[in-house]
Structure 1
Amino acid sequence: MRKKEKSTFRKIEHHRTETFFLIVRGLEVGVVAGLVSALYRFLLSKAESANHAVLTAIAGKPLYIALFLAALAGIGYLVSWLVRWQPLSSSSGIPQITGEIRGHLDAPWWQVLLAKIAGGTLSILSGLSLGREGPSIQLGGMAAKGIAKVTKADKTTQLRMISCGGGAGLAAAFNAPLAGMMFTLEEIHKTLDGNILCMGIVSTITADYISKLFFGQNTVFHYTTADIPLKSYWILLLLGIVLGLAGVGYNALMLLGQKWIGKIKAPVRMMLVFVCSGVLGLFVPQLLGGGHTMVTLLLQEHPTIKILILLLLGKFLFSLLSFASGAPGGIFFPLLILGTYLGAIYAEAAIAWFGLAPELWQELVVVSMAGFFAAIVRAPMTGIILVFEMTGNLDSLLPLAVVSLTSYTLADLLGSTPIYTALLENLLRPEDKAAARRNRPGEKVLKTYVLPLGSALDGKCIKDIDWGRHCLIVSIERGDTAVTPKGDTTLHAGDTLVVMVSQRRFARDNDRLEALIDPKS
C-alpha cells in the first residue's frame, strides 16, 4: 500500500478516537498563542505610553515638534517596507486567518509574526487609531501554525490549530475565553464543529490563564449596574435600529475609504497618515491608539453631547485613515469604542426626550458595544459574550441580546456584507488563489460540515447528491451515534458530515460544499 494511502487510512481511523489528542493540541495552541499575544499586548502598552510621554515632552516646542513629525514620516516608511516584505501582515489579520482556514491563503507563519509584531508596535508608538485584538487573532493563528509545522501535524490538524489559535489570541487580548471560543466558531470557522469546540475550549482557557498571569484578572470595563424596566424595552429596540443603521454606514464608509485611500502609493500613504497622527496628537490626543483613553474619558468625566459627537466623528475618521493606510492593526476595539459613544449620545437623547432615568446612561453605553459589533461583524453571540466578559456582569444579558439581535437583523435585511467577509474578498486576488493551489501537496484534509435546518440536502440520499469527484464522505455523526455512510444513507438536518477533500483543491471544494449545504442556496 502506498504511503499516502496509509496516511489517509490512519487519518480516518484517528478521527474516531481523538479527544485526548485534541486536548493536548489545544494546550499547545493555548500556550504559544497566549505567550505571543501577551508579548504583543505588553509591547503595545509600552508603545502607547511612550507616545503619550513624547507628546507631553514636546508640547509647545516647535523644533522638537518638527523633529517628531519627521521621525513619524520615517517610521511610516519603515512600516510600509515591513508590509511590502510580508503583505499578509497588513491591517487587521482576521480576514487573513479566515482565508487560511478556507484554503485560499498559505501564509509563511514566522514572517507574519515578525512583521505583525514589529509593524503593529511601531504603528501604536506613532499613535495610529488601531486595535490589538485583530492582530492578536492573527498572531495566535500563526503561532499555532508554527507549532503545527514544527511538530509535522497533518493538514486537518493544522487547520484546526490555526482556527483555535485565532480564538486563543482574542481570549488573551480581552481576558475573554468564552468570546474567543465563540469567535472561532461563529466568525472564523462558521460552523459548530465538535472537534474545534473541544480543542478551542482548551486553547482559549489556557491562553486566558497565561494572559492573566501577566496582566491580572481585572475586567476591561467597570460600571454601575442598573436594571432597565421591562416597559422601557422599546427604547432598546430603537437603540438596536440606530446601531444597525450606523453599522451599515460604518461598513460602507470603511470599504469606500480603503478603496480610495488605497490608490495612494503605499510609502506615501503611510507616511502621510503617520504624520497626521502626530498632528492630531498635539491637539486631540484622546483620538490616538485603540481607544482606552476615550473609554476612561466617557465613563469618568461624562462629556457633554457636543463633545461626544465631535469625539465620535474624530475617532471614526482617524480610525478610517489608520486602517486604510494598510498599517498592521485592527478595527476590533476602535469599533467597540465607537459603539460606546453612539450609546452615550443615544442615552443623552433618551433621557431628554423619552424620560429615561439618568442612572441607566451607563447601561445603554455598554450594551451599544455589542449592538454595534453585531451590525458590523455579523457575529451577535460573540458580541454578547464578549461584552459580558469585559464587564463581568450577567445582569445586562437580556438588554445585550435585544439590542444585538435587533441591530444584526436590520443590517442583514439591508444587505450589508459583514466587514471581515468584505475585507477577505478584497484581500484575495485571483493570482494569490492560483499560487496557493499550486504550492499545496496532494495531502487529504478532513473537513466537518453541519447540515442546517432548511438545507436542500435534508432528506436526500447520499447517492442522489453531486458531491464532486474529489470529495469522500468519511463518516456521519447523528447525535451520539456514528453512522457509516452508504449510497442509500438518508441525510437529516443536524447531521455532522466529515468529508475528505484534496488539499490541492481544498479552497474550491470547500466553497462548493458550503454552497451545497447552505439552506439559502
Structure 2
Amino acid sequence: MEAIKKRTIYHDIFHWKDFRLKVFVEGSIIGLLAGIVTVMFRYSLEAAGTLRGQIYGYLKTGGMIPIVAWFIVLILIGVIVGLIVRRDPMARGSGIPEVEGILAGQLKMKWPSVIVSKFVGGVLAIGAGLSLGREGPSIQLGAAVGQGFSRLLGRRRMEEKYLITSGASAGLAAAFNAPLAGAIFALEEVHKTFSPAILMSAVAASLTSDFVTEWVFGMKPIFAFPALAVLPFRYYGYLIGLGVITGLFGVLFNRTLVKTLNTYDAISFLPRSLLPVLPLLAGGLLGLVLPQTLGGGHELINSLARIHFSLMMLIVLVVVKFAFTMISYGSGVPGGIFLPLLVVGALTGDIYGHLIVAYFSANPQYVTNFIVLAMAAYFAAIVKAPITGSILITEMTGSFQHLLALIAVSMTAYIVTDVLNSKPIYEELLERVLTKKGKRNPSLGAEGKSPAGGKQVITEVAVCLGSQLEGKRIKDVSWPAHSLIVSIRRGDEEIIPNGNTRILAGDNMYTLVDEARLGEVKAVFRHLAGEPDA
C-alpha cells in the first residue's frame, strides 16, 4: 500500500499539468462550498449586529431592569463561548495562525469540530459586540471546508495542502468581496512564496467564492467612498509621514496585542472558560456610551466619509477602539483582527488628514484619501503583507486609481516596521500557539518529540534570487536528513534531478519527507532557498 501511495505521488509530480488542472477544478468546488459557509457566517453576523443595535437603542430608554437583564445575557454568552473554546482550542482567536501551522505540518485540525465551533463561537462573540472581525474565522472556516473535502474524497497530504489553501483564500474573498486579495493572501502571507499550482487553485476558489458572495450581498464594494478623488502628486510627500506614523502604530499594535495575551494568561482569579465574560461586560458598557466601537467596525469606517467628526472625537474613538480590540482578542474568543485594525488605521488617517488640513493648508477633499491609505499602511505594518493590503483595500473601496499611493504608503510603513524588527503578527501568534503545545522547535517534529519516521509527503520550496542554492549542483549542497529531492520544476520543464543538476533561481523544488519531520525539513529548505520563515 505504501509503495502504491509513493507511485501516485510521483505520478502527480511527473504529470504536473494534469495535477494543476485537477487542483484548479477542485479549488473551484471548494470555493463554492466555502463561499456558502462564509456567506452564512457573514449573514448571521449582520443579523446579530442589527439585533444588537436595536437592543442598545431600547436600553437607552428602557430603564435599569432591561440593562441588568442584558448584562446577564452577556455573561451567559461569555460562558458559552468560553466552553466552546475550551472544548475545541483550534477555534480560539483569529484562526489564521492555526491555518498556517497546519500547512507547515506543525498543527492538526479536526475540520467538523472547527466549522461548528468557529461558526457558533464567532457569531456569539462578534454579534454580542466584541471588537473582532469576520475575516479570520472566515479564512479558518474555508480552510476547514478544504480539509473536509480532501478527507472525504481521500486526497493525499500534498494535494490536501493545496485544497486547504484554496479554502482559506475563498474565505477571505467571501468575507470582503475581494477575490484578488484572497489569491494574493495565499501566496504572500500563508505560503510566503510563489507557486503556480497555489496561484491557480487559490484564484479558482476565490472567484467562485466571490461569485456566491456577490449573488447574495450584491456587486458592491465593502466600503462606500463614492467621492474619492485621485490624490495629486504634490501630496505624495505627506504619504511618507503617514507611512512612518502607521508603521510606528503598527509596531505598537503588535507588541500590545502580545502583551495583552500574556496578561490574560497570567489571570488566576478566573477559570479560563470565564475569561470571555470580561470583554463582553466591557462591551456592554461601551454599547451604552460609545456604541460606534462595538463589533468589527465596518459601519464606523463608512461613517467617516459621511460624518465630520471633531479631532477630539476621532482621538477618543481610536484610543477606545484600539484598547477594546486588545481586550477582546486577548480573551481568546473566536474572531479576527483584520477589520478592527483597518478601523484603527482609518481613524488614524482621518486624524492625520485633519492635522495636515489645519497646519499645512491641505485641501479638505483629500482627507478621505488619507483614511483609505492609512488602512492599507496599517495592514502592511501589522501583517507585513503590503501587496495583499494594497490589493485588499483597492477591492474593498472599489477604486483602482489609488494603487500607486497605496503601495507607496504601505511600503513606507513596512520599512519602518522592518527597521524596528517587528515580526508579522500572525507569525508571532503562531509561535505562541506552538510554544504552548511544546512544538516551537521544528526539529521536535509534529508531536513534540523526535520521530522515527512514518507517512511520507511532498513539500514544495521556491529557490529565490541570491539564495545559498542558486547556481549550485545538487551534490554540492548539504541537504537535511530524512529528505529526498524528487523533482525540479523550471517553468513548464520537468527535471528529474541527479547529483550534477544545477539549481537556478526561480526553480520549484519538490522534496519527499516524513510527515512527522515536515516542519524541521521545510524550515531548513526555506533557509537554503532564501524564502522567508513560515
Instruction: State the TM-score, normalizing by the size of structure 1.
Output: 0.96
* 1:457 partnered with 2:456: no
In structure 1, the partner of 2:501 is 489
Aligned letter for 1:50? L
Q: Measure, in 1, the Cα distance between the counterparts of 2:21 and 2:470.
A: 32
Deviations 1:333-369 (A, max 9, x none): 0101111110000011111122211111111111111
- RMSD, matched Cα: 1.7
Whole-Å Cα distance in 1 between the matches of residues 241 and 172 of structure 2? 30
Could you say which residue in structure 2 is the equivalent of 1:142? 144
Shift in CA distance, 502/435, structure 1 to aligned 2, threshold 3 Å: closer
How far apart are residue 395 of structure 1 and its match?
0.9
Kept in 1, the 8 Å contact 2:470–2:504? The answer is yes
Could you say what secondary structure the match of 1:457 adopts? coil
**117-126 or 322-331, which deviates more:** 117-126
Matches within 5 A, 1:209-224: 209-223=211-225, 224=227
Q: Which residue of 1 aligns with 2:85?
A: 83
Q: Which letter does structure 2 place at the counterpart of 1:263?
A: A
> What is the CA-CA distance between 1:409 and the residue it aligns to?
1.0
Q: Structure 1 regions of 5+ residues with no counterpart?
A: none
CA offsets per residue over residues 179-217 of structure 1, 9 Å max, x none?
Answer: 000001111111101111111111110111011111111
Aligned partners of 1:353, 1:26: CA distance in 2, in Å? 52
Give the CA deviation at 1:380. 0.4
Percent of aligned pairs with the same amino acid? 37
Equivalent in the alignment of 1:39: 40
The aligned counterpart of 1:229 is 232
1:330 corresponds to which residue?
Answer: 336
Give secondary structure in 2 for the equivalent of 1:456.
coil
Equivalent residue of 1:225, what SS? Answer: coil
Q: 2:484 aligns with which of 472, 482, 488?
A: 472
**Structure 2 equivalent of residue 99 of structure 1:** 101
Q: Which amino acid aligns with 2:529?
A: I
* Paired residues for 1:265-276 under 5 Å: 265-276=271-282
The one-letter code sitting in structure 1 at the alignment partner of 2:393 is V
SS of the residue 1:455 aligns to: coil
Deviation at 1:436, TM superposition (A): 4.1
- What residue number does 1:119 align with? 121
Distance 1:438 1:251, change over 3 A: closer
* Residue 401 (1) aligns with residue 407 (2): yes
The answer on whether the counterparts of 2:224 and 2:302 sit within 8 Å (CA) in structure 1 is no
8 Å Cα contact 1:155/1:443 also seen in 2: no
Task: Please tell me the residue identity of whatever aligns with 1:446.
Answer: I
Helix, strand or coil: the match of 1:415? Answer: coil
SS at match of 1:290: coil
How far apart in 1 are the matches of 2:219 and 2:531?
Answer: 42
Give the Å deviation of 1:516.
Answer: 2.3
Amino acid across the alignment from 1:209:
F
Match of residue 259 from structure 1: 262
What's 1:318 paired with? 324
Tell me how far apart the structure 2 counterparts of residues 258 and 10 of structure 1 sit (CA, whole Å).
Answer: 44
SS in 2 for 1:18: helix
| 1:226 CA drift (Å) | 1.8
Task: Determine the C-alpha separation between the residues in 2 that align with 1:243 and 1:74.
Answer: 38
Give how far 1:6 is off: 2.2
> For residue 266 of structure 2, what is the amino acid of its counterpart?
K
Aligned partners of 2:177 and 2:342: how far apart in 1? 16
CA distance in 1, matches of 2:204, 2:531: 31
Instruction: Please point out which of 10, 17, 31 is paired with 1:12.
Output: 10
Which residue of the partner structure matches residue 160 of structure 1? 162
Deviations 1:298-334 (A, max 9, x none): 1111201111000000100001100001111011101
Note the C-alpha offset of 1:432: 5.5
Q: Superposition pairs for residues 53-452 of structure 1, below 5 Å?
A: 53-60=54-61, 61-223=63-225, 224-264=227-267, 265-429=271-435, 431=437, 433=439, 436-437=446-447, 442-452=454-464
Measure, in 2, the Cα distance between the counterparts of 1:432 and 1:139. 25
- Within 2, Cα distance between the matches of 1:57 and 1:227? 42
Alignment partners' CA distance in 1, 2:90 and 2:404: 39
1:29 is matched with 30
In 2, distance between residues paired with 1:500 and 1:416?
34
Question: TM-score, normalising length from structure 2?
Answer: 0.94
One-letter amino acid of the counterpart of residue 517, structure 1: A
Q: Is the 8 A contact 1:474 1:485 kept in 2?
A: yes
Q: Deviations over 1:459-484 (max 9, x none)?
A: 11111212223211121122332222
Change (3 A) 1:438 1:316: closer
Structure 1 counterpart of 2:75, one-letter code:
A
**CA–CA distance in structure 1, aligned partners of residues 361 and 309 of structure 2:** 20
110-119 or 459-468, larger mean C-alpha shift: 459-468
Return the alpha-carbon distance in structure 1 between the equivalents of residues 354 and 242 of structure 2.
12
What is the CA-CA distance between 1:430 and the residue it aligns to? 6.2
Paired residues, number: 519
CA distance in 2, matches of 1:70, 1:24: 49
